[in-house]
């Protein structure tokens, strides 16, 4: 089941139809309502979520109170959970005394991040994207439903329906590339004086539905050796100091050890710290000991043709180890050819503990090249 975080900025785009060039700030919102403006972001979010009407059983939504999400998902009949500690606000209007703000959006994003949702879907404009980026950065994928006046950021779907179609593909286990895109915003005061002054505020990672399929048709068969080198270069470049890395078994992870110029245990797990070999062929006991001493992460690959990421050739990652390590500290690497051969079947976690296996259910990011990731479903 896909766990979808949802944030609706109820005031996004409120000034657009009444010619105010934006909706930033309480004075602009008040003026917009005085001119007869109506909230549009919930309507646009409905267009996105209605695409999921036939697959509601595949999606759980974690969202904000009332007009920030709860009202809509409840009306549409989704399975949902409501975040706490946010404004208990009804539909905003000119008489509303408590309005949602950037602070509320940031608080919601922070909670969704802590809940490790698979992706955050949000409705708003560039200001909303800025707020979410300030919290989420590149930690988890996001996708925007365009609802603001200004849409200069590249983190939005082209239409609300397109946003829904991307989420549907994720829920249905389709291969989706994830790439970093700019979050930009302009100075609204300058814009009202016909001056476009845009500023880069950061990047967020956004699913790119359709790009994976297109690249296969255009690029042909992967040259495996070159792809493995690209994957290894990406992994090694991202290794952090004083973090202990468990490099899993198999030929794909062998490329990482080759990139580090370290001795490898092809059918075992090696421990690497600060780009140096700590120990070859570690056991479960070794891993548990290291977990008590270091901050640790694991680099694992997919068993070709089967799709297992846990439970085949890496039983050292026992249920106890996996609980201490955490899904968020496991990075999966694979060639796209190996992923394609699964023909949409999910990756498999077979730790021997059903409850733990279920905790891995959902999606996981797979590194498939240099700065190239996809989102792929995990089953058990």
Q: Could you give the 3-state DSSP secondary structure of residue 228?
A: helix
Residue 216 forms part of a structural domain: no
Q: Are residues 205 and 233 in the same domain?
A: no
Q: Are residues 225 and 86 in the same domain?
A: no
Contact in structure between 308 and 302 (CB atoms under 8 Å): yes
* Average pLDDT score over residue span 95-108: 71
Domains held by the chain: number = 2
Q: Are residues 178 and 324 in the same domain?
A: no
Contact in structure between 357 and 322 (CB atoms under 8 Å): no
Confidence label for 107 from pLDDT (cuts 50, 70 and 90): very high
The pair of structure tokens assigned to 268 is 């075992």
Q: Are residues 255 and 351 in the same domain?
A: yes
Domain boundary (179, 209, 239) is at: 209
Residue 366 forms part of a structural domain: yes
Confidence label for 11 from pLDDT (cuts 50, 70 and 90): confident
Residue 339 forms part of a structural domain: yes
- pTM beyond 0.85: the answer is no
Domain boundary (165, 186, 209) is at: 209
Residue 197 forms part of a structural domain: yes
Q: Are residues 311 and 162 in the same domain?
A: no
Residue 363 forms part of a structural domain: yes
Q: Are residues 35 and 132 in the same domain?
A: yes
Element at 211 (helix H, strand E): helix 211-219
Q: Are residues 239 and 284 in the same domain?
A: yes
Residue 170 forms part of a structural domain: yes
pLDDT for residue 305 is more than 50:
yes
Q: Are residues 29 and 172 in the same domain?
A: yes
* Average pLDDT score over residue span 304-332: 89
pLDDT in tens, 15-49: 544 444 455 556 665 665 566 556 678 888 998 99
Per-residue CA distances from 242 to 91, 275, 356 (Å): 49, 10, 28
**What pLDDT shows up at residue 274?**
97
Q: Are residues 104 and 231 in the same domain?
A: no
Confidence label for 273 from pLDDT (cuts 50, 70 and 90): very high
User: How do beta strands 243-247 and 198-208 pair?
Assistant: unpaired
Q: Could you give the 3-state DSSP secondary structure of residue 164?
A: helix
Four-CA torsion 129, 68, 364, 357, nearest 10 degrees: 160
Q: Look at the alpha carbons of 51, 53, 57, 60 in this order and tell me if their dihedral is positive or negative.
A: positive
**What are the φ and ψ backbone dihedral angles of 192, each rounded to 5 degrees?**
-70, -15
Rounded CA gap, 17 and 147, in Å?
Answer: 12
**What pLDDT shows up at residue 221?**
45
Per-residue CA distances from 286 to 79, 174, 279, 289 (Å): 42, 37, 9, 5
Rounded CA gap, 247 and 269, in Å?
Answer: 6
The pair of structure tokens assigned to 164 is 């829904």
Residue 172: count other Cβ atoms within 10 Å of its Cβ.
12
Domain that holds residue 276: 221-379
Q: What average pLDDT is seen over the chain? A: 83
pLDDT for residue 83 is more than 60:
yes
Contact in structure between 89 and 96 (CB atoms under 8 Å): yes
**What pLDDT shows up at residue 14?**
63
pLDDT in tens, 141-176: 999 998 876 577 888 887 788 889 999 999 998 878
Lowest mean pLDDT among 84-88, 165-169, 289-293, 311-315: 84-88
pLDDT in tens, 195-241: 555 678 899 999 987 433 222 222 344 567 888 999 999 999 999 99
Q: Are residues 153 and 19 in the same domain?
A: yes
């Amino acid at each position: 089941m896909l766990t979808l975080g949802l944030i609706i900025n109820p005031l996004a785009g409120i000034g657009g139809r009444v010619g105010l060039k934006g909706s930033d700030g309480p004075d602009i919102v008040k003026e917009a309502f005085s001119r007869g403006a109506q909230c549009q972001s919930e309507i646009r979010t409905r267009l996105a979520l209605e695409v999921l009407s036939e697959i509601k059983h595949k999606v759980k939504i974690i969202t904000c109170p009332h007009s920030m999400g709860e009202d809509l998902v409840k009306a549409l009949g989704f399975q949902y959970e409501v975040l706490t500690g946010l404004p208990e606000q009804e539909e905003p209007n000119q008489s509303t005394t408590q309005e949602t703000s950037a602070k509320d959006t940031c608080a919601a994003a922070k909670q969704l991040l802590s809940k490790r949702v698979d992706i955050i879907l949000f409705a708003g404009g560039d200001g909303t994207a800025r707020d979410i980026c300030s919290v989420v950065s590149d930690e988890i994928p996001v996708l925007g439903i365009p609802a603001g006046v200004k849409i200069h950021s590249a983190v939005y779907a082209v239409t609300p329906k397109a946003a829904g179609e991307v989420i549907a593909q994720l829920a249905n286990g389709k291969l989706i590339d994830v790439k970093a895109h700019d979050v930009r915003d302009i100075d609204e005061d300058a814009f009202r004086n016909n001056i476009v002054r845009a500023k880069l505020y950061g990047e967020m990672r956004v699913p790119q539905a359709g790009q994976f399929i297109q690249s296969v048709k255009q690029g042909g068969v992967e040259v495996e050796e070159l792809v493995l080198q690209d994957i290894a270069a990406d992994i090694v470049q991202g290794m952090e100091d004083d973090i202990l890395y468990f490099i899993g078994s198999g030929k794909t992870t062998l490329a990482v050890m080759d990139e580090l110029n370290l001795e490898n245990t092809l059918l075992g797990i090696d421990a690497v710290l600060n780009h140096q070999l700590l120990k070859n062929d570690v056991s479960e006991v070794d891993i548990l000991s290291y977990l008590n001493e270091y901050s640790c992460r694991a680099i694992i690959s997919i068993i070709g043709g089967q799709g297992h990421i846990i439970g085949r050739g890496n039983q050292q990652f026992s249920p106890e180890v996996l609980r201490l390590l955490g899904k968020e500290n496991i990075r999966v690497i694979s060639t796209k050819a190996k992923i394609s051969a699964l023909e949409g079947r999910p990756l498999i976690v077979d730790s021997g503990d059903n409850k733990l296996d279920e905790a891995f259910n959902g999606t996981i990011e797979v590194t498939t090249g240099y700065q190239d990731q996809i989102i792929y479903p995990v089953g058990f």
